[in-house]
Amino acid sequence: MKNIIIIGSSGHSKVVIDIIEIKKEFNIVGLIDRFRVGEETEGYNVLGKEEDLPELIKKYSIHGVIVAVGDNFVRSKISKYVKEKCPNLEFISAIHPNTSISKNVSIGRGSMIMAGVIINSKSIVGESCILNTASSLGHDCVIKDFASIAPGVRVGGNCKIDELAAISIGAVLVHKINIGQETIIGAGSTVVNDIGPFVVAYGTPAKMIRNRKSGEKYV
């Protein structure tokens, strides 16, 4: 098996580790987390920081990496750094075997598809997206790079979720909904109208509550 390294050592990384171990396609040599160097997660050592990647690649013959960080903006910044510093490193996707994914679905590199996810016909998932446990994506949907849908989210057909947007636990999007860039949809919301970029929206029906800045913490 080819060697990979996982960036992140929090709860989200534990789920990704589980997927990699179940599928047995790659060998995890360790983790990277600048705040927990020398510690351990799920039996794997935190070997260093992002800056240590070039050395670690040589030392452990690393083939690929997966950025297992839940925050969309942070995941995008780390991924950009890795691409710049290690352009030949492959970004690995983690797709749990207990999923239902149509044969004509496109999934970008580095994306994480958790147990129980359903992705229906002709949907497109971008790079480094997260489709979390038991969420579903209707037909002809588009989830752009670094966006995420949380556990139990239901997305109707022909929806578009823009870059770095996050749909929180148990929210529902009816058909033909557009969610703007970096927008956050609150847990349990029902979205019946388009929501623009850089806002926080929640409720049933979901309404804009306030604007938000790019990169503002939400997890």
Q: Cβ neighbours of residue 143 under 8 Å, at least 6 residues apart?
A: 123, 124, 125, 126, 129, 131, 137, 149, 161
Q: What is the pTM of this model?
A: 0.96
Question: What is the tally of structural domains in the chain?
Answer: 2
Q: What is the pLDDT of residues 126-178, one digit of tens each?
A: 999 999 999 999 999 999 999 999 999 999 999 999 999 999 999 999 999 99
Q: Are residues 136 and 192 in the same domain?
A: yes
CATH number at residue 65: 3.40.50.20
Residue 84 burial class via C-beta count within 10 angstroms: exposed 0-12, middle 13-18, buried 19 and up: exposed
Q: Are residues 57 and 107 in the same domain?
A: no
Q: Are residues 101 and 179 in the same domain?
A: yes
- The C-alpha atoms of residue 137 and residue 113 are separated, in whole angstroms, by 11
pLDDT value of residue 3: 98
48 is in which domain, residue-wise?
2-92
Domain assignment present for residue 127? The answer is yes
Where the chain has pLDDT below 50, the residues are: none
Domain assignment present for residue 218? The answer is no
Q: Are residues 10 and 65 in the same domain?
A: yes
**HSE-CB for 63 with a 13 A CA cutoff:** 10
Q: Are residues 6 and 107 in the same domain?
A: no
